[in-house]
Structure 1
Amino acid sequence: MAKQTKKLSKSATVKKMLSRGNGATLVEIMKSTGWKEHSCRAFLTGVRKTSNLLKEERPDGKTAYRIEAAPAAARAE
């Protein structure tokens, strides 16, 4: 029997992408979820309410969004 892995929800997938070191662009989020651009932007607005969402420019000129990691002191509490 093959081991089955649980599929992440779309929101969990996007949050995982945003937690990467280089974050995620709108195009990457759109491709991974099938959402339209306005839906991706609305999701990012929701993320801003609960996390520190950074907007950064990559060396190739594309805009990426990334959730800032909490400092070690904040995680310990």
Structure 2
Amino acid sequence: MTTTPAAKSAAATEKSAPKTKNQQVIDLLSRKGGATLEEMSTLASWQPHSTRSFMTGLKKKGHVIDSDKVDGMRRYRIISNGGV
């Protein structure tokens, strides 16, 4: 099987492309311990209200986001991606 130069460059771009801010925040939320609003806002360089809005958008896309208070800090985590 031969690969075309276009296919090779597309594969190389996928591997080397940096993660978007959205994907980085989703990765934080997917961790076992989840993430605080401050951690997400700092990582993405977003204001807290923008971070909350992003989480609302995730919920609308079918993600189930849970929150718990741990040591006085609210932590959010994705517990289901709703088939997304």
For the criterion TM > 0.5, the same-fold answer is yes
| Residues 24-64 of structure 1, C-alpha deviations (whole Å, 9 max, x = no match) | 11100111010001100100101112211101111x21001
Over the matched positions of the two proteins, sequence identity in percent amounts to: 34
Distance 1:21 1:68 in 2: 9
Give the gaps of 5 or more residues in structure 1.
none
Name the residue aligned to 1:56. 68
Q: Which has the higher helix share?
A: 2
Q: Which has the higher strand share?
A: 2
Is residue 63–residue 80 contact of structure 2 (8 Å, CA) maintained in 1? no
The structure whose Rg is larger is: 2
Name the residue aligned to 1:14. 25
Distance 1:69 1:35 in 2: 24
CA RMSD of aligned residues (A): 2.0
**TM-score, normalising length: structure 2:** 0.72
After superposition, residues 1-77 of structure 1 pair within 5 angstroms as 5-49=16-60, 50-58=62-70, 60-69=71-80
Aligned length: 68
**TM-score, normalising length: structure 1:** 0.78
Give the gaps of 5 or more residues in structure 2.
1-14
Moved over 6 A (4+): none
